[in-house]
Amino acid sequence: MEQQKRTTTVTPPKKKVFKKDINIMSQRTYHLQIDNTLRTVYVVGTQLKIALDSCAPLQSKFFSVKCSPNVKCQVLSQVQVGNSLISQQPLGKNTVLLISMEAASLHPNDSKLSVKFYGDKLENLGSALLHLTAVEISLDVDADRDGVVEKNNPNKASWKWGPNGHGAILLVNCDSETSYKKTVDYEKEEISKVSDLKDMSQMILRTSGPSELPEGYKLSLHMSQTDAERVRIFRPRSSKQAEASLKNMLFSLFQKEYPLVLSKNQLANEVPYQGGKNELVFYVEGLHFPDKDFDGLLTINLSLLESSGEAFPQTPIFTDNVMFRVAPWIMTPNTLKPLEVFVCSTRDNYEFLKGIKQLVQKSGQKLKICHEYMNRGDRWMQDELEFGYIDSPHQRFPVVLDSPRNGDLGDFPYDDLLGPDFGYVTRNAPRKEVSSLDSFGNLEVSPPVTVNGKNYPLGRIIIGVAFPTTEGGRNMTQVVQDFLWAQKVQEPIALYSDWLVVGHVDEFMSFVPAPDRKGFRLLLASPDAAYKVFKTLQHKGHGKAKMFPGKKEAISVDDILRDKQFEAENKYVQSCIDWNRDLLKKELALDDEDIIDLPVLFKVIPQDNRAVAFYPDVVNMIVLGNNLGIPKPFGPQVDGNCALETEVRSLLEPLGLNCNFIDDFTAYHKLLGEVHCGSNVRREPFTFKWWNIEL
Amino acid sequence: MEQQKRTTTVTPPKKKVFKKDINIMSQRTYHLQIDNTLRTVYVVGTQLKIALDSCAPLQSKFFSVKCSPNVKCQVLSQVQVGNSLISQQPLGKNTVLLISMEAASLHPNDSKLSVKFYGDKLENLGSALLHLTAVEISLDVDADRDGVVEKNNPNKASWKWGPNGHGAILLVNCDSETSYKKTVDYEKEEISKVSDLKDMSQMILRTSGPSELPEGYKLSLHMSQTDAERVRIFRPRSSKQAEASLKNMLFSLFQKEYPLVLSKNQLANEVPYQGGKNELVFYVEGLHFPDKDFDGLLTINLSLLESSGEAFPQTPIFTDNVMFRVAPWIMTPNTLKPLEVFVCSTRDNYEFLKGIKQLVQKSGQKLKICHEYMNRGDRWMQDELEFGYIDSPHQRFPVVLDSPRNGDLGDFPYDDLLGPDFGYVTRNAPRKEVSSLDSFGNLEVSPPVTVNGKNYPLGRIIIGVAFPTTEGGRNMTQVVQDFLWAQKVQEPIALYSDWLVVGHVDEFMSFVPAPDRKGFRLLLASPDAAYKVFKTLQHKGHGKAKMFPGKKEAISVDDILRDKQFEAENKYVQSCIDWNRDLLKKELALDDEDIIDLPVLFKVIPQDNRAVAFYPDVVNMIVLGNNLGIPKPFGPQVDGNCALETEVRSLLEPLGLNCNFIDDFTAYHKLLGEVHCGSNVRREPFTFKWWNIEL
């Protein structure tokens, strides 16, 4: 009641207030001294536990206690709230006095407790006096994830997943407030702009008590060495000055206004006790994403220190803890709303650009073109980077994952994308460890699924690797795999993609939105389906019709179907895709009705016995809502239409999808890539919050 | 039924048999070819899923299926077990055929399936033929933890804690089969002795089928690179030869008989298919304890590979997985039965040795004396090593954790302790990082406790560190802390011990068995209790009685009580111990009645402001069942008895404990250690099995 009143006066109505309950109340062992007056600071919500026998004069048989009205004293089980035990109580070997106080003191040592001891004839043997100063101390975070730092959440020191979970959230400050001469913000040990504070989590030290602490007491903020490698804490030098500096943004001044409190070089630091009812705001900055050796959890502690005589080190008499989890990096599947489309312009991709421009215009996104001076002829926009985002109750922004591929496009993610509220993260691997499978055409994510009752509301990451059974196979480098697995919220699936010369999963699979069933379809490349198309053509008398009409590669349906070696190669490719199909069905809980087989033929390159698409790979498409940008397959012409386009339309248009065929033949297909490989899409984040996942 | 009969004939009655249930049945996509005969191997428990439409001739409207009696074929929902679908069925766009078989084949391709296709006038348009060879394949482990490798446990691929949990267990093969020229077994890439097999977990590949697999099929055992760093797999070259070699133990022969199958240099390896009903035994060897970067879980896979034409790589058509958890290193609290007592003999510790010998004789353990040529004057047997053990359903042995302290006793754990069924583990840290807090007098473990409903049936590890708030404090080195925390089953508690010159928790705390309450008492050093004793003496007129009677250090009770600086030092020490007391009460859920305060005085050494025991520290004792070896305190003599011994007896004897006071004054106490620091005890393991903990 008292507490209710007190807190509501100082906190915005929205903020929740938790009354400390008994089970988290901590007891402090304390000793009185006979014929001596001691002074100590008491923290509201705790108990002082005093073994009377240990300080009592030797002959003592009885005792009595007197204390100020605001001191609550309790002997064993007999509770006498608020008032004293004037009458003599029998003193036993284990007689224990429990002291607590409801409210903070207005002045140092304004509360008193005295214990008198008596002999068997009730003669007075002596007494011990204690002067108490009560303070309220609570280190607070947004443990209920509503964007507001509530007071003293009983769960603030732990972290739990799920809608009924709790625990504060921290972002890796991986964007750059400055666009000019930029570095990633967490690389700087100071705050350069007020806007940077938005990327950090607030932590508030709430204190209530006399204007200052009694002599010999101080507050210390501290954390472990391990945690200190992953987090940094700033605070305004003083709330007033800070507000001032927020107004007049004099940079140099500003910097001084936000001194570093804790870092890996400073594990503990005194923080001011400001007196009265006060709130001291800290800004907590995440430095590292969850990874193989870091589960993402961090603990920060605040202690009240007491010095027992100048001669000796200070000892903590009260410690409060809060826990943060660093937000994971999250990928966005094809089913999310597209925002921006990224492609490269090269001296030879005019046709492709034209097609893309029309498509993007039609579906209403921004088109961002990376020009030749930047891409240096490297057109594989999909492979150099992956768009994702990080999210918290107080802040959210996109984060690009830069691939260790580091082609000529290597500088683009850092130089062009990193900026204010646009984050950057990468994992570096030794050159010799990096293979074609490290390109992010080999990193995709499924739409949300539920598998044997387990929900993946953010979908599942999909990568391609070698068969575990094949020696000398290529794999995505371990540091990137470790990073992806450590994010936890989109548990990855490893497919088999090493059977392809380029080796990317986007060469045989894609996801498109659908109005029915699970809200999407999985598209798979299918030589089997392709042969069906070609056999039908032959059967209907179009055996002479030519694939690649008008091109030097032109070849008739009959000739294709006549080639037994080619057929064998495609049977092998089908078996590889079938293996992935069965795995995806299991890991994503898909039925065959959730899968569409698109006609694609492959050929196996003798030198390394791996496969490439025979004609533009219609699965390797860009998905912008219901508008698809599909590699133009240049199939046999029947009644003026491409038989392959007709087949693809017949499979996809019933889902309300518009098929736009884009000519990528010379500029991409001939270089072993297609539309998807040559583009990238930044999408809207999920509305579902990652911390609500049940893990 | 069939399966029941088959398995019971080949497996010992104890072994459980699990029938593969539908939910773990895996489906394999398969394609027929019109007017062509295909052959494939089918794994019992799986399904072949055949999309009929994709292989049907173009005009097909109907189809019929014929198959051998042991082939079960199913179209969509209509099930016709065992027999064929002679009558023509309508062929739809998504007509799917599900094929399964109950029993293994006796001969390759002995089962057949043929599908006929018909036009709308039921004219025959062609047919596809499939020859099937059914095999049973199951990679098995002791997932139910009963010491026997059961068949096909449905939970074998996952791991769950608790009495209702499941999952196989692996030991780190950290003992040494050879005592001469020894190395830790896991450091050798071969099996040198048959006895070494007992330290490994059995894994059995059970197969049933024709005498050999059809052309183009093989079995491959494989694992990931990450797992391969932590495990090694051997197998007998052939069961027959192996048995032979078990008899005639010709070393060189023997070695060849257990070739390495998988290791970090060999991630995949073909394993023989032996034909008929067969069991191939593998021996799995753990290489690393759980640690910061290793949660202890390992997966091993077996795949059946199919080659689609010589030209192309083989592809897996079936994969079976098993999971192991590496057993943690477990400490043994004072409440467990002692087996062996270890001490050092030095040229100056005759008195101490005499006392220890009497005590050990009385309580009936083996006494192991480490002689000077080995200890080189380093007498701190407690500090150089910690005894623990590892446990599994099939094997258990003690394991010594060697401290990075590496004093002159440094070689003892490896040279004297490591041996057959006696394991060794250590963690090394840079010399400059190692402090006195890395000695294992600073590493203890509590008896079993329950804290807020959470059970710790193996107790909790206790270490000492610096206050997080004190800069320049000493800590236990991070690699050892990481190791201790990673074991998980005895979740550690970090106390504050840096206030002591030596800085070990055993200087102010110990545990003794008790007949009542929680089965133990926590003993704490207490200056407060000591002052109480001395004041009582003074009060009773023994103020002139001398501490350290007959020694040059002799000092009277009055003089001790007169020294205010000394009193201030002890008040400070009491506050440090109180902080630990409150923490232990919270973390072990102890009441004050579970704690006994033993009278100990400390003095603070000016140079580094840290404390040492003023007289032999009675808390620093060796506990052998109910027999305690307590440092002889040399307290004031009253009526021919040491007042401190009397006090200690009065506190401990009511618990049925025998107090034996051992003179360690010159040889240990003066060197800042006591009985516990100078001894070590190997104890019986817990009867409680670590895998039954609910984590």
From chain B, the residues in CB contact with A58 under 8 A are 535-536, 539
CATH 3.75.10.10 segments of chain A: 331-692
One-letter identity of residue B632: K
Q: What are phi and psi of B420, to 5 degrees?
A: -55, 125
Are residues B309 and A499, on separate chains, in Cβ contact within 8 Å? no
Q: How many degrees, rounded to 5, is the angle at CA A658 between CA A654 and CA A662?
A: 135
- Fold for domain B331-692? L-arginine/glycine Amidinotransferase; Chain A (3.75.10)
Q: Report the DSSP beta bridge partners of residue A45.
A: none
Q: How far apart are CA A559 and CA B376, in angstroms?
A: 88
Half-sphere exposure of A514 (CA within 13 A, CB side): 22
Q: For B287-377, list the strands marked E by DSSP.
A: 297-307, 314-326, 330-331, 338-344, 366-370
pLDDT band at residue B309, thresholds of 50, 70 and 90? Answer: confident
One-letter identity of residue B613: A
Burial class of A255 by CB neighbour count within 10 A (0 to 12, 13 to 18, 19+):
middle
pLDDT band at residue A239, thresholds of 50, 70 and 90? Answer: low
Rounded mean pLDDT, B290-314: 90
Are residues B499 and A313, on separate chains, in Cβ contact within 8 Å? yes
Are residues A315 and B94, on separate chains, in Cβ contact within 8 Å? no
Retrieve residue A214's tokens.
């009694």
Q: Taking 90 as the threshold, does the pLDDT of residue A302 lie above it?
A: yes
Q: Taking 60 as the threshold, does the pLDDT of residue B18 lie above it?
A: no
Provide the shortest C-alpha distance from residue B293 to chain A (in Å): 5
CATH 2.60.40.1700 segments of chain A: 172-326
Retrieve residue A323's tokens.
């826990």
Q: How far apart are CA B424 and CA B14, in angstroms?
A: 34
pLDDT band at residue A10, thresholds of 50, 70 and 90? Answer: very low
Q: Which of A220, A452, A581 faces B29 most closely, judged by CB atoms?
A: A581
Are residues B585 and A292, on separate chains, in Cβ contact within 8 Å? no
Tens of pLDDT, residue by residue over A309-338, are 777 888 889 999 999 999 999 999 999 999
Q: Report the DSSP beta bridge partners of residue B555.
A: B547
One-letter identity of residue B16: K
Question: Residue with structure tokens 């008989």?
Answer: B257
Tens of pLDDT, residue by residue over B592-610, are 999 999 999 999 999 889 9
Q: Does A39 touch chain B (CB under 8 A)?
A: no
Please tell me whether residue B32 adopts helix, strand or coil conformation. coil
Provide the shortest C-alpha distance from residue A505 to chain B (in Å): 17
Q: Taking 50 as the threshold, does the pLDDT of residue A22 lie above it?
A: no
Structural contact between residues B170 and B286, judged by C-beta atoms closer than 8 angstroms: yes
Q: Does B467 touch chain A (CB under 8 A)?
A: yes
pLDDT of residue B85: 66
Q: How far apart are CA B524 and CA B476, in angstroms?
A: 21
Q: Taking 70 as the threshold, does the pLDDT of residue B196 lie above it?
A: yes
Interface contacts (A, B; CB < 8 Å): 153
Q: Does A241 touch chain B (CB under 8 A)?
A: no
H helix or E strand, kind and range, residue B527: helix B527-539
pLDDT of residue B560: 98
Rounded mean pLDDT, B60-87: 75
Q: How far apart are CA A233 and CA A203, in angstroms?
A: 9
Are residues B575 and A315, on separate chains, in Cβ contact within 8 Å? yes
Provide the shortest C-alpha distance from residue B468 to chain A (in Å): 6
pLDDT of residue A394: 96
Structural contact between residues B501 and B371, judged by C-beta atoms closer than 8 angstroms: no
pLDDT band at residue B86, thresholds of 50, 70 and 90? Answer: low
Q: Which of residues 473-502 of B touch A (CB under 8 A)?
A: 478, 496, 499
Tens of pLDDT, residue by residue over A512-551, are 999 999 999 999 999 999 999 999 999 999 999 999 999 9
pLDDT of residue A243: 52
Residue A67: closest CA among A91, A99, A102? A99
Q: Which of B306, B309, B468 faces A301 most closely, judged by CB atoms?
A: B468
The alpha carbon of B297 is separated from its chain's Cα centroid by a whole number of angstroms, namely 11
pLDDT band at residue B84, thresholds of 50, 70 and 90? Answer: low
Q: How far apart are CA B61 and CA B91, in angstroms?
A: 5
Strand ordering across the sheet containing A78-80? A27-30, A47-51, A96-101, A71-75, A78-80
CATH 2.60.40.1860 segments of chain B: 25-136
Q: Which of B30, B313, B569 faces A609 most closely, judged by CB atoms?
A: B313
pLDDT band at residue A7, thresholds of 50, 70 and 90? Answer: very low
Q: Taking 70 as the threshold, does the pLDDT of residue B450 lie above it?
A: yes
Q: Which of A220, A222, A470 faces B313 most closely, judged by CB atoms?
A: A470
Cα B338 to Cα B298, B515, B628, B682, B689: the distances in Å are 34, 17, 12, 6, 19
Q: How far apart are CA B22 and CA B40, in angstroms?
A: 22
Are residues A312 and B468, on separate chains, in Cβ contact within 8 Å? no
Rounded mean pLDDT, B283-308: 94
Q: How far apart are CA A166 and CA A170, in angstroms?
A: 13
Compare all CA atoms of chain A with the CA of B609 and give the residue at the minimum distance: A312
pLDDT of residue A19: 43
Q: Within 10 A of A564 (CB to CB), how many other CB atoms are there?
A: 8
The alpha carbon of A256 is separated from its chain's Cα centroid by a whole number of angstroms, namely 30
pLDDT band at residue B247, thresholds of 50, 70 and 90? Answer: low
Q: How far apart are CA A39 and CA B87, in angstroms?
A: 99
One-letter identity of residue B61: K
Sign of CA dihedral B60, B62, B67, B72: positive
Based on the residue annotation, tell me whether A55 is a catalytic residue of this protein.
no
Please tell me whether residue A461 adopts helix, strand or coil conformation. strand
Structural contact between residues A597 and A528, judged by C-beta atoms closer than 8 angstroms: yes
Which of A185, A196, A199, A383 is catalytic? The answer is: A383
Question: Residue with structure tokens 């630990």?
Answer: B580
Which of B166, B394, B504, B676 is catalytic? The answer is: B504
Q: How far apart are CA A629 and CA A631, in angstroms?
A: 7
Q: How far apart are CA B413 and CA B374, in angstroms?
A: 11
pTM: 0.91
pLDDT of residue A2: 32
Residues comprising chain B, all counted: 695
Structural contact between residues B503 and B437, judged by C-beta atoms closer than 8 angstroms: yes
Q: What are phi and psi of A565, to 5 degrees?
A: -60, -45
Q: Does B593 touch chain A (CB under 8 A)?
A: yes
Beta strands B27-30 and B47-51: pairing type? parallel
Q: What percent of chain A has pLDDT over 70?
A: 91
Helices (H) and strands (E) counted in chain A, each on its own, are 14, 43
The mean-pLDDT minimum among B146-155, B465-474, B616-625 falls in B465-474
Q: Which of residues 245-304 of A touch B (CB under 8 A)?
A: 267-268, 292-293, 301, 303
Q: Report the DSSP beta bridge partners of residue A96.
A: A51
Give the DSSP letter of residue A582: H
Rounded mean pLDDT, B386-395: 98
Compare all CA atoms of chain A with the CA of B496 and give the residue at the minimum distance: A315
Are residues B268 and A471, on separate chains, in Cβ contact within 8 Å? yes
pLDDT band at residue B234, thresholds of 50, 70 and 90? Answer: very high
From chain B, the residues in CB contact with A305 under 8 A are 469
pLDDT of residue B91: 84
Residue B476: closest CA among B386, B604, B569? B386
Please tell me whether residue A47 adopts helix, strand or coil conformation. strand
Tens of pLDDT, residue by residue over B611-641, are 999 999 999 999 999 999 999 999 999 999 9
From chain A, the residues in CB contact with B576 under 8 A are 315
Mutation pick from B58, B76, B224, B312 vs chain A, by most beta carbons of A within 10 Å, is: B312
Gap between the terminal Cα atoms of chain B: 38
pLDDT of residue A308: 76
Mutation pick from A27, A469, A597 vs chain B, by most beta carbons of B within 10 Å, is: A469
Question: Residue with structure tokens 């509503």?
Answer: A146
pLDDT band at residue B348, thresholds of 50, 70 and 90? Answer: very high
The per-residue b/e assignment along B70-94, b for 16 or more CB within 10 angstroms, e otherwise, is bbbbbbeeeeeeeebbeeebebeee
Q: For B427-501, list the strands marked E by DSSP.
A: 443-445, 449-451, 454-456, 461-465, 493-496
Q: Which of B28, B309, B499 faces A582 most closely, judged by CB atoms?
A: B28
Rounded mean pLDDT, A13-25: 44
Helices (H) and strands (E) counted in chain B, each on its own, are 14, 43
Q: Does B183 touch chain A (CB under 8 A)?
A: no
pLDDT band at residue A246, thresholds of 50, 70 and 90? Answer: low
Burial class of A200 by CB neighbour count within 10 A (0 to 12, 13 to 18, 19+):
buried
Q: Taking 90 as the threshold, does the pLDDT of residue B583 lie above it?
A: yes
pLDDT band at residue A93, thresholds of 50, 70 and 90? Answer: confident
Cα B173 to Cα B376, B392, B399, B687: the distances in Å are 30, 12, 10, 22
From chain A, the residues in CB contact with B29 under 8 A are 578, 581-582
CATH classification for the domain delimited by A172-326, as one of 3.40.30.10, 2.60.40.740, 3.10.450.50, 2.60.40.1700: 2.60.40.1700
Q: What are phi and psi of A351, to 5 degrees?
A: -55, -50
Q: Where are the alpha helices (DSSP H) in B392-477?
A: 412
Tens of pLDDT, residue by residue over A350-363, are 999 999 999 999 99
Q: Taking 60 as the threshold, does the pLDDT of residue A78 lie above it?
A: no
From chain A, the residues in CB contact with B220 under 8 A are 469
Name which CATH class applies to A25-136: mainly beta
From chain A, the residues in CB contact with B51 under 8 A are 592
pLDDT band at residue A256, thresholds of 50, 70 and 90? Answer: low
Are residues A468 and B223, on separate chains, in Cβ contact within 8 Å? yes
How large is the angle between the packed helices A527-539 and A564-588, nearest 10 degrees? 130
Compare all CA atoms of chain A with the CA of B537 and give the residue at the minimum distance: A58
Q: How far apart are CA A98 and CA A114, in angstroms?
A: 13
How do the residues of chain B divide into helix, strand and coil, expressed in percent and rounded to 5?
Answer: 25, 35, 40
Q: For A81-198, list the strands marked E by DSSP.
A: 85-90, 96-101, 111-118, 124-140, 168-170
Q: Does A608 touch chain B (CB under 8 A)?
A: no
Based on the residue annotation, tell me whether A528 is a catalytic residue of this protein.
no
Q: What percent of chain B has pLDDT over 70?
A: 91
Retrieve residue B267's tokens.
């991630």
How large is the angle between the packed helices A527-539 and A643-652, nearest 10 degrees? 120
pLDDT of residue A324: 98
Give the DSSP letter of residue A83: S
Structural contact between residues A66 and A46, judged by C-beta atoms closer than 8 angstroms: no
Please tell me whether residue A585 adopts helix, strand or coil conformation. helix
Compare all CA atoms of chain B with the CA of A30 and give the residue at the minimum distance: B578
pLDDT of residue A14: 47
What is the overall mean pLDDT for chain B?
91
Tens of pLDDT, residue by residue over A412-429, are 999 999 999 999 999 999
Rounded mean pLDDT, A156-174: 97
What is the ipTM score, two decimals?
A: 0.87
pLDDT of residue A53: 86
Q: Taking 90 as the threshold, does the pLDDT of residue B658 lie above it?
A: yes
Residue B53: closest CA among A530, A599, A602, A529? A529
